[in-house]
Amino acid sequence: MAAHDDPRAKLFHDQVHGYIKLDGLSVSLVDTPQFQRLRDLKQLGTLYYVFPGASHNRFEHSLGVGYLAGETVERFRLQQPELELTRRDSKLLSAAGLLHDLGHGPFSHVFEHQFMPLVASSNGFSYHHEDMSLKMIDYMVDENQIDLDRSDVRFIQEIIVGAKDHHVQRHARLSSRGYLYEIVANGRNCIDVDKFDYLARDMVNLFGVRKVFNFSRLWMFNRVIDNQICYHTSVNLDIYDLFQQRYQMHKSIYNHRKAKAVEFMICDAMLLADKTLGISAATQSPEDFQFLTDHIVHTIEASKDPALAESRRIIRQLRCRKLYEFVDEYLLPPHLSYAVPTVTSENIACCNVTSGVQLEPHDIIIADNRLNYNLKDQNPVDNVSFYSSNDLSTSFHIPKDQVSLLFPEKFEERVIRVYSRNPSPEIQKAILDAFRSFLRAFSTTLPPPSPSSKILPKVRRPPASIVQKSSLLSSLDIAARDAENEGESNADEPSGNASTSEEQRTTKRFRET
């Protein structure tokens, strides 16, 4: 779209996408207090306490998603005129991309997945950032007199919630255009511009890497067939790469042990300050919610209110890097992933095996995480349709084993982590032993504690006779292996076989005794 067609359009220089242009409607949405609030929400929450480069905010991510969403529709409009898309559709999809994260709270997923579920049991408040985004959109449109009628607002809201089952009913404009649901929030196979932007943006800010996976190939090599967004056969590996990169980021970055410890501390501080500051109550009113940002930590820190003394103490600990201690973690084998029930701190406290140490559930924090390819234990690529250059109107599926034999057989794993609020080494050691005792109820063979744990497991010194015997066994094992290796390297030479056999028989007799 030429610049003179829309005098209100503006150019932005984006760290990931270069120069991007937003139309006048998008600019009017950006220039509101509700959208500018996103400058005060870290995209990666507490990861900034671990990775200094993770300083980017939801503001720039939202600009990127808005740009990609609008450009996607524009490309479909120009390349597939039979879809009868309009420039108005492009503008509204761009608006949906801009506003999709409007409902995030302080430290994003900390607020949604940790803080709010804990307060919901006492005050009955429910919160999901998608629902809050819809409320914030209604509020910002009315408050700022945005040039959108109610039909357009509904259209934007539906795009944000995607193809998920939701209370927003499908708009007539979308009844025959289901593919529009797959652009911003794809509930069918999880390939959407939101994921394209945040993976690329996170890698650029964290590591200075501009290309994690080639999302531009996915973005360019797609078209609409049978009311679905389909991808060219040449990008099937890129699609698997997309989900693998997402998994790796969750495994090593988003769930970083230290960042999680910071999350638990901030969550505790907010819980203790909730009644005084009305943090959870703000979710019931968009007018109040618009002022709820990451600055809540500074509000607690600067307060002189005696009721916030404990919250301030936790923030002070955080500032001094006295974090909750990581104790241990366990990657459950596939057969136990669903057999082991949800683990609670009470479960671990009840398994205390350390005499003279009293374990309190409050001392223990459990992080029970499922890492996957974004569709629970399913392969999302099973829901992706492809097309070939020979026939642009027919879609089909490509089985995993026709792409590569090296893809995973399992698409979800469960990792249970344990942290300690209590700084006492004795308490932390007791938590480790209790956690191991709990796991033995489900598995008789356990790996040693995580190498990242600073806490050593209890080791009983064996009797001297056993130590002597073990030392002799080790010597014999080494001799046997050396002889065996020598025999393999000199397969045609019979010398030394009798000696080797005798040593192996001696080793076997020691093991049997």
- Asked if pLDDT for residue 466 goes beyond 50, the answer is no
pLDDT band at 163 (very low <50, low <70, confident <90, very high): low
Q: Which amino acid does the sequence have at 157?
A: Q
Measured at the CA of 414, the angle between CA 413 and CA 416, to 5 degrees, comes to 150
Percent of all residues in the chain with a pLDDT value above 90, rounded to a whole number:
75
Asked whether residue 155 is assigned to any structural domain, the reply reads yes
Is there a contact between 74 and 90 (Cβ–Cβ < 8 Å)?
Answer: yes
* Same domain, yes or no: 473 and 335: no
Q: Is residue 39 part of a domain?
A: yes
Q: How many residues does the chain have?
A: 513
497: part of which helix (H) or strand (E)?
helix 497-512
Whether residue 129 is found in the same domain as residue 45? yes
Q: What are the residues facing 18 on neighbouring strands?
A: 14
Please measure the distance between the N-terminal and C-terminal CA atoms of the chain and give it in whole angstroms.
Answer: 84
Whether residues 379 and 367 fall in one domain: no
How confident is the model at residue 211, as a pLDDT? 58
Query: Are 215 and 199 spatial neighbours (Cβ–Cβ below 8 Å)?
Result: yes
Confidence label for 503 from pLDDT (cuts 50, 70 and 90): very low
321 in the Ramachandran plot: left (φ > 0), alpha (ψ -120 to 50) or beta?
left
Q: Reply yes or no on whether the pLDDT at 513 is more than 50.
A: no
H/E segment holding residue 470: helix 464-489
| 335 and 202 assigned to the same domain | no
Indicate whether 204 and 346 sit together in one domain.
no
Q: What is the pTM of this model?
A: 0.86
Percentage, residues of the chain above pLDDT 70: 84
pLDDT score of 445: 79
Which of 447, 396, 454 is CA-nearest to residue 425? 454
One domain for residues 388 and 339: no
Residue range 99-136, pLDDT digits in tens: 999 999 999 999 999 999 999 877 778 899 999 999 99
Residue 26 has pLDDT above 50, yes or no: yes
Q: How many domains is the chain partitioned into structurally?
A: 3
371 membership: H or E segment, kind and range: strand 364-372
Residue 167 annotated as catalytic: no
CATH number, domain at 247?
1.10.3210.10
Q: Give the pLDDT score at 188.
A: 93
The whole-number average pLDDT for the span 65-82 is: 97
- 329 and 195 inside one domain: no
Which member of 129, 256, 335, 397 is catalytic? 129
Structure confidence by residue, pLDDT tens digits, 221-279: 999 999 999 999 999 999 999 999 999 999 999 999 999 999 999 999 999 999 999 99
What is the pLDDT averaged over residues 306-322?
98
| Contact yes or no for 18/270 (Cβ under 8 A) | no
Residue range of the domain that includes 417:
324-371+412-459
Three-state DSSP at 322 gives coil
Q: Which residues of 358-382 are buried (b: 16+ CB within 10 A; e: fewer)?
A: ebeeebbbbbebebbbbbeeebbbe
Residues 335 and 228 in one domain: no
CB atoms within 10 A of CB 163: 17
